[in-house]
Amino acid sequence: MLQRLFKFKGGVKPATNKAPSVQAPIRIAPIPPRLVVPLHQSIGGQPTPLVEVGDRVLKGQRIGAADKWVSAAVHAPTSGTVIAVEERVAAHPSGLPTLSVVIETDGQDAWIERHSFDHASLEPERVREILRDSGVVGLGGAVFPSHVKLTPAASVPMDELVINGAECEPFMTCDDLLMRERAEGIVRGVAIFRDLLRPKRVLIGIEDNKPEAVAAMQAAVEALGENFEVVAVPTRYPAGGAKQLIRVLTGKEVPASKRSPEMGVQCFNVATAYSAWRAIAFGEPVISRIVTLTGNVEQPGNWEILLGTPMQEVIALAGPKADTNRFVMGGPMMGFDLPDLSAPVVKATNCIIAGSPALFPPPAPEMPCIRCGACALACPHELQPFELYWFSRSRNFGKAQEYNLFDCIECGCCSYVCPSHIPLVQYFRFAKSEIWSRERDKNMADAAKARFEFRNERDEREKAEKAERLAKAAAAKAAEKKPAPAETPPAPAEAPAPQTVDAEAAKKAAIAAAMERARLQREAAQPKNTDGLTIAQRKEIAEIEKRRAPLQAQQQTTPNADAAQTQNSQKDQQ
């Protein structure tokens, strides 16, 4: 069947640099002496720890339980002993610590008892639960819990299931190798998704610079007798963005305000499908992932690495060259500098690039915008980045939102083409985080107002009580002087009323105060942004990132998790 392809506007074609890391097959990384497994590895809730210091854990044992629907479990990647449950630095641009389980490995790699399931005989709800409890999340980098995305919209029929094997980021080849070597597992995983979503068609999109992967997937689809369509899509960054791939394969444009099932389409990454199949068919939770190690290294390639393996041990596998001056996690377009090499590999770690001044030269000095419009032509979301830049820079955040700031997926195409070398994406991140923090400040102001009103009320009440006491005293005096009862003093019958109000108000106040304390504590962990607009300062960026993470998480833990999902599915190839 001939697949008609659609185009998305914009996009760029950086050199792909994929060849060095596809020469060798996937290698299995050794078990490190210690694993640091962060509990919070996916979008959504913070899994609660299930183990204590001193516990012996087996490979695949759940160590963090999903605390709500939008959340995913975390497991011990190998057997060993828990030596700490504490805050450890995370693989995040902020370098902030996050609650992690530290396991001293015993080298036995002893599995917990595993159960395989026949998903066809299970209730769909049960399958979703298994996926959640196996920690299956989007492995393209967005780490959104997959089970949440596996519920079709009630009113819209599911037309297409899109499987993302595009892998458009330069340097990155983990999905490519996975498709070459484990195509059958992927296709079986896709079949599970298909059975849950019941789409009319299943489309597997792979950039046409990966002919081996296309062939392997096609062969696997045929071998398994499925009717999935494997489609080679033109190589153009960001063809692997979920929205872009959906557009290319189905012609549908999912706006930022909608989630894709509302338009009858859903998208998963190939590695996610593979891990779902391992979870259902073998009872193996997500405890490792394929990571591309490439860039300025002696031995570029792909490794299957246990989650929790510290970065320095991972990097040693590839042997960074002497002039390496940075390690980037993710691709060169959307990745970030690892702030600390003791941070562990997590579910979101798809690629680590050793950078050198030759590979990633320092940016040329920033010049003024000449309104050339190159950024607008490159923007896959058809925004006007220079207008956004202008408004972000002048802190005209209202206008920035009018010009659809929040539709920006931070893909970096605009910065890539800008002849004035303006770090546009940084400005947009800055503006977004400012807007988020203003919203939070507003919420805080509302709370402060409530406190203020309560205090006023209390003062009023105290005044009234004082007046009453004085009046009583005066009346008593008067009574002494004049035994005969004069006009009755203020009716004591009214007194109880303020008292009930008082109790209620006190309760409210206590709650408000507790909330406030909690908020202040949270605040303390997130220092305020400075006022300077010099975005190109590491410190400030770090602060922005720090803020973004909890805020995003907060947003995503709201009951309306779907909105969060939309937001995240844009982020990258799920």
Partner 1 sequence: MDFITPPYLTQNVSVRRVMLQVLAALIPGIAAYAWLLGPAVLMQIAIATATALLAEAAMLKLQDKPLGPFLGDGSAIVTAWLIALAFPPLAPWWLIVVGTAFAIVVAKHLYGGLGQNPFNPAMIAFAVCIVSFPALMSQWPPINAQANFVDQLALVFGQSPRLDALSGATPLDALKTALKLGEGSTSVATVTADAAVFGRIAGHGWEWVAAGYLLGGIWLWGRKVIGWHVSMSFLAGMTLISGALWLWNPAHFANPLFHLFSGGSMLGAFFIVTDPVSGCTTPRGKLIFGFSAGLLAYLIRVFGGYPDGVAFAVLLLNLCVPIIDLYTQPPIFGMKK
DSSP run (H or E) holding 215: helix 211-223
Q: Which of 369, 535, 542, 549 binds ligand SF4 (CB under 6 A)?
A: 369
Given a contact cutoff of 8 angstroms between Cβ atoms, the answer to whether 245 and 573 are in contact is: yes
Closest to 168 measured CA to CA, from 416, 372, 347, 405: 416
**Closest approach of partner 1 to the CB of residue 383, in Å:** 6
Q: Does residue 363 bind ligand SF4 (CB under 6 A)?
A: no
Site for ligand SF4 in 382-401 (CB under 6 A): 383, 385-386, 389
Cis amide linkage into residue 238, ω under 30° from 0 = yes
Rg (alpha carbons) of the chain, rounded to whole number: 29
Q: How far apart are the first and last CA of the chain?
A: 26
Give the closest residue to 411 by CA, choosing from 5, 14, 19.
14
Phi, psi at 27, each rounded to 5°: -110, 150
Q: Does 381 bind ligand SF4 (CB under 6 A)?
A: yes
Q: Which of 22, 28, 29, 32 is nearest to 300 (CA)?
A: 22
* Mode of pairing for the β-strands spanning 74-75 and 160-164: unpaired
HEC secondary structure over 270-302 = HHHHHHHHHHHHHCCCCCEEEEEEEECECCCEE
Residue 427 interacts with ligand SF4 (CB under 6 A): yes or no: no
Give the range of 34-42, 214-222, 351-359, 414-422 binding ligand SF4 by CB under 6 A: 414-422
Q: Is 249 in the site for partner 1 (CB under 8 A)?
A: no
Q: What are the residues whose beta carbons fall under 8 Å from the beta carbon of 163, sequence distance 6 or more?
A: 186, 190, 193, 202, 203, 204, 205, 228, 267, 268, 269, 270, 273
Q: Does 159 bind partner 1 (CB under 8 A)?
A: no
Partner in contact with 404, chosen from ligand SF4, partner 1, none, beta carbon below 5 to 8 Å by kind: partner 1
| Interacting residue with partner 1 among 78, 250, 420, 568 (CB under 8 A) | 420
Q: Considering only residues 348, 374, 388, 561, which one is a binding residue for partner 1 as defined by CB under 8 A?
A: 374
Is residue 380 within 8 Å of 392, Cβ to Cβ?
Answer: no
Minimum gap (Å) between residue 120 Cβ and partner 1: 35
Least separation in angstroms between CB 393 and partner 1: 12
What is the smallest separation between the CB atom of 11 and partner 1, expressed in angstroms? Answer: 12
Of 100-108, 153-161, 219-227, 409-417, which part binds partner 1 (CB under 8 A)? 409-417
**Which one of ligand SF4, partner 1, none is in contact with 82 (Cβ closer than 5 to 8 A by kind)?**
none
Shortest reach from residue 248's CB to partner 1, in Å: 13
The residue ranges that bind partner 1 (CB under 8 A) are: 8-9, 12, 14-15, 170, 243, 247, 253-258, 325-326, 328, 332-337, 355, 357, 360, 362-365, 367-374, 376, 380-384, 386-387, 403-404, 407, 412, 415-421, 423, 425-426, 535-538, 541
